[in-house]
A and B are shown apart, each in its own frame.
Chain A
C-alpha cells in the first residue's frame, strides 16, 4: 500500500466514488443509471358547450414540482385563447373567448417524468389557522372531538381521524349530539374542509389536493385527497372513504388548496375527460430532461449539454478507456498477443458501421491481400515511408473494390468499409508481414487471432448500451478505470500464457 502507484489508484477510486455518491445523494441521480424511471402521458379533453358570448374555462394543470418533471406540453384551444395563470403553487390554464358555434373542444396533454422516490428533507409545515369559513362553534366542536386522540402519536392520530370517515370513532363514542353536529358540518362545508378542521383541532398540518391517480385509466372527474403532515412526511387519505393511500400509490396533484380543478365562468361545467397512460421514454431522454433542467454545477457541466450529434460521439468515446483496460487485462494477465497496443480497440470502434462479423471479415480480407502484395513488394527493397505509402494506397484500393462489390450486391456493410481505420490496417499489414518473416506464420496467425478476439470483446463492450449510459451519466467512472489501469501496471505476477509456456519448469510437489 505504500507504493505511490497504489496510493494514486486508491485516491482515484475514492474520487470516483465520492463524485458518484454526490450525484446520487446530492443531485438525486438514480442509483442505477439504467434503472427505468416512469413517464406518464396525461391528456385532458374538454367539451365546452355554452350559449354565452364570452366564456372562460379554468383548468388546473400539472406543474414541474418536486419529483415530477413536465417534459412536454401540448395545448389545443380551438377558437379560444389560452393563458397560463399561476396562483401560488397552482398552475391554471385559462381558455377564454368566444366559442365557435357555441361549442368548443379544448385539449391539453403533458408528458411527466416521475423520478424514483427518495426521502428528502422536507421542511415541516406550519400549523395553519382554521379554514376561514369555519365558525367558532364548529372549531370548538372539532376540538372536543379531537380531545380523544390527544395522547396519540401524530401517525396514529392521523390514522384514527381518517377512520372516522367510515364512521368508526372507537370507544367510548362521542355523544350523539356531537356526532350530529359533525355530520351537519360535513354536509354544509363539504367533507374535505370538515376533515381539515378536525385535523387542525388535532394539531396536524394538512392540505387539500385535487388531481388524478397515476394509473392507466380514463377519469371523468378529478380525485380529492387530504395530505397530512405526520412529522416524517405527508400521508394521504381519501376524505370520502377514509382510505389511507399506500406510499406506492402515485397521485398527480392538479390544484392545491380550495381550488376546484375545473371552473367555468358561466357555471355550465364542461364535459372533461382525463386520459392517463404510461409512456416509454428512452433512458437517454429521461436523463437528458432531468439534467438539462438542473442548475447544479455538475449538471451544468454534464455531457448531456453537448449538442446531440457530439453526444453520439462521446457515448462511444467514453467507453474506449474501458476497452483499453480490457486490453491491459488480456495482454498483461492473460497474455494475449495482439498487433500494436490499441489496434483492437480502434478496430472495435470501426466495426460500428460494418458490424462485427463483416468487419472482421473485411479486415481479414484486406490484411490478406495486403500481405500478398507486401511479400512481393519486399523484393523491390523500398524505403520505409514510401513502402508504407504503397501499402496505404493498396488498402484504399481494396476499400474501393469492397465498396463497389457491396454496391453491386446491395451489401451496406461492404459499402461502409470506408470508415475502417485505413492507417491501422496499413500498419497491421506491415506488422503481419514482419511477424511472419521474423517469427513464422504460426506466431503471426496466433497474433492475428488474438487481435480479432480482443477486438470482438472490445466491440461488444463499447457498444453495450447500458454501460454507455452509465458512463455518460457518471463520467467520473473513468477515474476508477484509470485506477484499475494503474493497478494493472503494477501487476508483476505471471501471465496465464506463461503458466503454459513454462509448465515443464514448474516445481510441483
Chain B
C-alpha cells in the first residue's frame, strides 16, 4: 500500500528530500559555490557585477571598531534595513522606516535608540544570528517598499517570489505572503502562505497555508489566485541569470518587487525547500526530468531559456 502510494508520487513527478539532496544538490551544487549564496554580501556583490538589480547597499560593518561609523553611513538614508550577512530564517533583521528624536522608528512604530541599534549590530558581528555561531558581517541596505500588487493579500511584511532554477532554466515559482501567524515573515515554516504561479502567464494559482489548500488570504479575506505578478518575464530572466552567476545547478532565487525599482534580487538558496510543490499542486521532479530532456540549443541564450520554460511549464487550469 505504501509502495503504491510512493509510485503515485513518482508518477506525479514529486521530488522527495532524498532525491533532491543526492541527485540535484550534491550533483549540481559544488561546495565551493555555497558561500556565494550563504553570504548575502557576496551575493549582492556578484549580482552587481552581473547587472542584476538588488536593494542598494549602503554600508558593510565588518569589525566592532567600525560601529562608530554606522551613524555617518546611514545619515543620508531615512529608511534602511540592517541584516546579518549569514543569517537564516530572517533572524536579526531590523527595518528602520524613519527617525525620531529618541532614535530610529521601526515599522511597528516602536522607537529603537541608537545605542540599542549599535548593540544589535554588535550582536550580529559576534554571530548571534549566524547559524554556525561564527563571526559575521552586518549589511545595511535600502528598504524595499513592496509594490501594491500584493497589498490585498499580504499581512504586513514584504511578500517575495521564490523561483526554482535548474541548469539556469526557471521551472517553478511561488509567491510567499506573510500572515498574522507568520508575524510578517515570508517563510512557509513560520506560517506564511505559498501561492503557486503559472510559469507561462505569471498569474497566481491557489495557495497553501500549513497543509491546507486555500483560495483566500486568512487575514485579509481577499482571493489569492488570479493575481498577475508584474515584470514576470523580467523576473524569470533575473532568476536565470542569478543562477548562472553563482555556478549552482539547482537554486532557489528570492525576488521582491519594489514600488519604484521593480524586481530586485533579495537572496539565493542552495537548498530550496520542497513545499513549493504543494503551492503549485505539481511536482518538481517531473519538470526537472523535462529540462534534462530539453534540446541543447534552448540552454544557449537567456531568451531561449525563459521562452522554453514559459512554454513548457504552462499550468493548464
Q: List, in ascending order, chain A residues with CB within 8 A of B128's CB.
A: 381, 383-384
Q: Are B9 and A505 in contact (CB under 8 A)?
A: yes
Per-residue CB contact flags for chain A residues 481-509 toward chain B (1 = under 8 Å, else 0) read 00000000111111110110111111110
Flag the segment in A79-87, A169-177, A178-186, A437-445 that touches B: A437-445
When the two chains form their complex, are residues B281 and A504 in contact, meaning their CB atoms are under 8 A apart?
yes
Interface 1/0s, chain A 329-342, versus B by CB < 8 A? Answer: 00010010000000
| A385 CB-CB contact with B under 8 Å | yes
A384, B5: Cβ atoms under 8 Å?
no
List, in ascending order, chain B residues with CB within 8 A of A335's CB.
Answer: 17
Q: Closest B-chain residue to A506, C-beta based?
A: B8
A494:B133 contact, CB within 8 angstroms: no
Q: Contacts A384-B133, A438-B190, A504-B213; is A494 near B9 (CB within 8 Å)?
A: yes
**Chain B contacts with A in 1-58, Cβ cutoff 8 A:** 2, 5-6, 8-14, 16-19, 22-23
Contacts of A440 in B (CB 8 A): 189-191
CA distance A501 to B17 in the complex (A): 11
Q: How far is the CA of A478 from the CA of B91 in the complex (A)?
A: 42
Stretch at the interface among B119-127, B167-175, B251-259: B119-127
User: Is the CB–CB distance between A498 and B189 below 8 Å?
Assistant: no
B107 at the interface (CB under 8 A from A): no
Indicate whether A498 sits within 8 Å of B14 (C-beta atoms), given known contacts A440-B191, A492-B23, A508-B8.
yes
**Is the beta-carbon distance between A439 and B189 smaller than 8 angstroms?**
yes
Partner of B18, one of A384, A493, A501, A504: A493
The answer to whether B6 touches A494, judged by C-beta atoms less than 8 angstroms apart, is yes
A168-B79 Cα distance, complex, nearest whole Å: 119
In the complex, the answer to whether A492 meets B8 with C-beta atoms within 8 Å is no
User: Contacts of A498 on B, CB cut-off 8 Å?
Assistant: 9, 14, 16-17, 274
Complex CA gap A495/B17 in Å reads 7
B277: chain A residues within 8 A (beta carbon):
502, 505
The reply on B139 being an interface residue by CB < 8 A is no
Output the least CB separation between B135 and chain A (Å). Answer: 10
* B278 interfacial contact with A, CB 8 Å: yes
Contact A495–B16 (Cβ < 8 Å): yes
CB distance from B132 to the nearest CB of A (A): 9
Q: What A residues does B211 contact at CB under 8 A?
A: 501
A385 near B133: Cβ-Cβ < 8 Å: yes
CB-CB < 8 A to A489: which residues of B? 22
Cβ of B12 and Cβ of A505 under 8 Å apart? yes
A505 touches B17 (CB 8 A): no
Which of B11, B18, B91 meets A491, CB within 8 Å?
Answer: B18
| Residue B84, interface by CB 8 Å | no
Query: Max chain A CB contacts within 10 Å: which of B14, B126, B190?
Result: B14
Provide the residues of chain B in CB contact with A504, threshold 8 Å.
213, 278, 281
- Which residue of the partner chain B has the closest CB to A381? B123
Contact B190 A439 (CB under 8 A): yes
A260 to B191, CA, bound (A): 92
For the complex, give the distance between the alpha carbons of A443 and B10 in Å.
26
Complex: A438 Cα to B274 Cα, angstroms: 17
Contact of A506 among B12, B119, B274 (CB under 8 A): B12
Complex: chain B residue closest to A430, CB-CB: B133
Q: Does B89 contact A (CB under 8 A)?
A: yes
The residue among A332, A384, A504 with the most chain B CB atoms within 10 A of its own CB is A384
Contact size class for A?
20 to 34
* A502–B211 CA distance with the chains assembled, in angstroms: 9
Query: Inside 8 A of A499's CB, which chain B residues have their CB?
Result: 2, 5-6, 9
- Whether A503 contacts B5 by the Cβ 8 Å rule is yes
Q: Closest A-chain residue to B13, C-beta based? A: A507
Residues of chain B contacted by A505 (CB below 8 angstroms): 9, 12, 14, 277-278, 281-283
Contact indicator B12/A383 (Cβ below 8 Å): no
Known contacts A384-B133, A440-B191, A495-B18: does B23 contact A506 (CB below 8 Å)?
A: no
Chain B nearest CB from A325 CB (Å) reads 16
State the CA gap A381–B121 with chains docked (Å).
12
CB-CB under 8 A for A496 and B119, given A383-B128, A440-B190, A504-B281: no
The CA of A114 and the CA of B95, in the complex, are separated in Å by 80
* Residues in chain A near residue B91, CB distance under 8 A: 438
| Cα A297 to Cα B213 with chains together (Å) | 66
Measured in the bound complex, the distance between the Cα atoms of B277 and A504 in whole Å is 10
Q: How far is the CA of A383 from the CA of B282 in the complex (A)?
A: 43
- Closest chain A residue to B280, Cβ basis: A505
CB pair A384–B126 under 8 Å, yes or no, is yes
In B84-141, the 8 Å CB interface with A consists of 89, 91, 119-120, 123, 126-128, 133
C-alpha gap A494/B277 in the complex (Å):
14
Given A383-B123, A383-B128, A384-B127, answer yes or no on A496-B2 (Cβ-Cβ < 8 Å): yes
Given contacts A384-B128, A505-B283, contact A492 B2 (CB under 8 A): no
Closest residue of B by beta carbon distance from A502: B14
**Contacts of A496 on B, CB cut-off 8 Å?**
2
A506 to B190, CA, bound (A): 25
Q: How many whole Å from A505's CB to the nearest CB in chain B?
A: 5
Q: Which residue of A lies closest to B191 (CB)?
A: A440
A387 nearest CB neighbor, chain B only: B128
- Distance of A385 Cα from B126 Cα, bound (Å): 10
A492 and B14 contact, CB distance less than 8 A:
no
- Taken together as a complex, chains A and B put the C-alpha atoms of A502 and B2 apart, in Å, by 13
- Least Cβ–Cβ distance between B27 and chain A, in angstroms: 10
- Tell me the B187-240 residues at the A interface (CB within 8 Å): 187, 189-191, 211, 213
Q: CA–CA, A383 to B124, complex, Å?
A: 9
Query: Which chain A residues numbered 59 to 90 have a C-beta less than 8 Å away from chain B?
Result: none
Q: Which of B266-317 contact A (CB under 8 A)?
A: 274, 277-278, 281-283
Q: How far is the CA of A499 from the CA of B18 in the complex (A)?
A: 13
> Distance (Å) between the CB of A12 and the closest chain B CB?
20
Q: A381-B128, A492-B16, A492-B23 are in contact. Are A502 and B191 (CB under 8 A)?
A: no
Distance, CA A335 to CA B21, complexed state (A): 14
Q: How far is the CB of A423 from chain B (nearest CB, A)?
A: 15
Contact among A384, A385, A443, A492 with B22 in the assembled complex (CB-CB below 8 Å): A492
21 contacts between A and B (CB under 8 A): A332-B18, A381-B119, A381-B123, A385-B133, A438-B187, A439-B190, A440-B189, A440-B190, A489-B22, A494-B6, A494-B10, A494-B18, A495-B17, A499-B5, A501-B211, A502-B277, A504-B213, A504-B278, A505-B278, A505-B281, A507-B12
Top 4 closest pairs, chain A to chain B, by CB: A506-B8, A507-B12, A384-B133, A492-B19
A sample of 4 more A-B contacts (CB under 8 A), given A438-B187, A507-B11, is A438-B91, A439-B190, A501-B278, A506-B12
